[in-house]
Chains A and B, each alone.
Chain A
C-alpha cells in the first residue's frame, strides 16, 4: 500500500490569556507528538473522550488549525508549512465532514447551490455540465435529484448528513476527515450513513480519517484505530488487534466501559476513577498516570515512548512489554 499522508510529530497548542485583563498566559496542549502514516484507501479511526485532541488532530492535518509543530507530508509537500493561499490547491483533495450539518450548511442556499460552490470554485465542471454532476452527486449519497432545489431545513438529520458528504465528494477528494460525522444521528439512520461511507470508499477508493467517540461504530468502519488521551496517542493498532488485545490500560478501561446490548452480560468493569486532567496543565510523565491502575514512579516522571509491541500494534506505556505481560503485575 502506498502512503497518502506522512504525519510526523504533529503538535497543536493554543495560547490563552486568562484573568480579567488577560494578564496570565496559559497554553492548552491540545495535540502533542502525533506521528502516523495513513495509507491510501484505508480508514484510520481516532477515538478518545472529549478534549483528548481527536478533532484537533483532524484540523491540524488539514491545516485548518495551523500546526504548532511537526509535519504533514502529502505528495511531497509539507502541508504544515503552507499558508492559506498555498494550501488552496490541496483543499480539493482533502475534505472534511462535520458532526452537525445543520450548522455547516448555509440555510439560505439550496442544496444544489451548496453543492455547486466547490465544483465551480475548483472548475471541476462547466455551467452546462453542472446539473448532471449535481444529479450524480446526489445519487451517490442516496438522494434523488429533486433535492437540489430544497433548503437544509426541509431535510431530516440523516438527509442533511448525506448532503454534507455529497459536498465533500463534489471536489473528487482522495482523503476525507469524518469528524464525529454520525454521532448526532439516531441509530437506525447512523447505520445508513455508515454503510454509505463504506460504499463510497469502495466506489472511489477514498481514504478516511474517522474521528469518533463510539467504539462500537469505530470497530465497524476501521482498518486501524488510534486511541488518544489528553492530546497524545496512547495506542495504535489494526482494528481487530485493538479490540481483541488492547494493550494500554486506558484502552482497556475505555473498552470495558462500553455498554453491551445484552442484559446477561457480566459487568466486571475496570472502572476508571476520577476525570481527565486539564489540558492546560497536563500531568508530567505519562499523561494517564493520575488515573492508571498500573502507575509507578517512572510513569510520573518520564513520558513513555510509542513502541511497537507486536507488528503494527504500538502503545505508549512503560508497563506493557508484550501482549500478555506487563513489567509489573500488581498496582503500585
Chain B
C-alpha cells in the first residue's frame, strides 16, 4: 500500500489581537489508499481544523502556518484556492456534522447534488440529474425519484445526512473526510449511517477519515486511530493495538472515563482532572503534563515525539517518554 496523504509537521495558528495562538502544533499523520483512519479527540483538540486546512476551508483568522500535506504527489498546503477547487469534491470529499447548515435550504436536493456533478464532472444537466437520483438510491433514500424535488427541511435529520453523503460521494473522491457525521443523530439512525458508510467503503478503494469524539463508535469503524490532544498526535496505532494496549496516559484516561453498557450500575467513573489548555496557553513540553498522573521532569522539558511502543504492534507509536521507556 502507498501513502495517499502524508501530513508532516502541520501547524495552525489563530490570529488574535494579542498575537497568534497555536491550535495545531506539529501534526504528522499518514493515510494509505483504502485505509480507514479515525481521528479522535475532545472539543478544541484541532481534529477538524487539521482536516479543513487540507482543502483550504479554514475559517477567517485561522491559518496553516507550517508543514506540508502531500496528496497525490502535490502539497495541498502550497496550493492556491483555484487549484484547491479542483481537489475539493472530486478528489477529497467532505461530510459535515450538521447537514441543515451545509445544505442550501432553498434548493431542491436533486438540484444540489446535480450542481456538484455539473461543476466537478462537467456533466450535462439531464445526465447529472439522473446520476443524482442514482446516488440517492445508493445512500438508501426511499423513493429517490420523489425525493429529488424535496427541500432539505422536508427531510428528517437522518435523511439529510444521507443527502450529504450522496453529495460527498458525487465526485467519486479518493478520500472522504467525515467530520462527526453522526454526532447530531439518534443512536438507531447513527447505526444506519455507520453501516451505510462502511458498506459504501467496502465497495470501493476510497480512503475514509472519521473525525469523532466517540471512541466507542470509532472502535468498529477504523483500521487505525490517531488520538489528538491539544493540537498534537499523542498516540497513533492500529485499532486493535490501541484498544489492547492503550499507552498514552490521555488515551487511557479517555477509555477509562467512557461509560459502557457492561459497567456496574451506580459505580463511579474514572475521570481526568482538569481541562485541556486553551489556545495560546500551551504548557511547555508535553501538553498533557499538567493533567497527567505520571508526569516527570522530562515531560515539561521538551515536546515528546512519537516513538514505537515496546511489545505492541510495530505501527503503534506514542508521544510519551514515560510510558514508552525501555523502547531503546
Contact = CB atoms under 8 A, between A and B. Distances in A.
Interface of A: 49-50, 156-159, 186-192, 194-195, 198, 213-217, 219-223, 239-240, 243, 253-255, 257-265, 267, 269, 271-272, 275
A262 B243 contact: yes
B188 A263 contact: no
B257 interface: yes
B189 A220 contact: no
Contacts of B265: 219-220, 222-223, 239-240
B188 A253 contact: yes
Given A188-B271, A192-B271, A259-B214, A223 B266 contact: yes
A266 B243 CA distance: 15
Interface residues of B, number: 44
B70 interface: no
A220 B266 contact: yes
Contact of B261 (A159, A219, A221, A222): A219
Contacts, number: 131
B257 to A, nearest CB: 4
Looking at B214, B220, B269, which has the most chain A CB atoms within 10 Å of its CB?
Answer: B269
Interface string B184-221: 00111111101100000000000000000111110110
Interface of B: 42-43, 156-159, 186-192, 194-195, 213-217, 219-220, 239-240, 243, 253-255, 257-261, 263, 265-273, 275
B219 A262 contact: yes
Contact of A243 (B195, B261, B272): B261
A187 B261 contact: no
Nearest to B267: A220
Contacts of B263: 216, 219-220
Nearest to B142: A274
Nearest to A215: B261
Contact of B269 (A195, A254, A262): A195
Contacts of A189: 42, 271, 275
Contacts of B216: 216, 258-261
Contacts of B259: 191, 194, 214, 216-217, 219-220
A198 B259 CA distance: 14
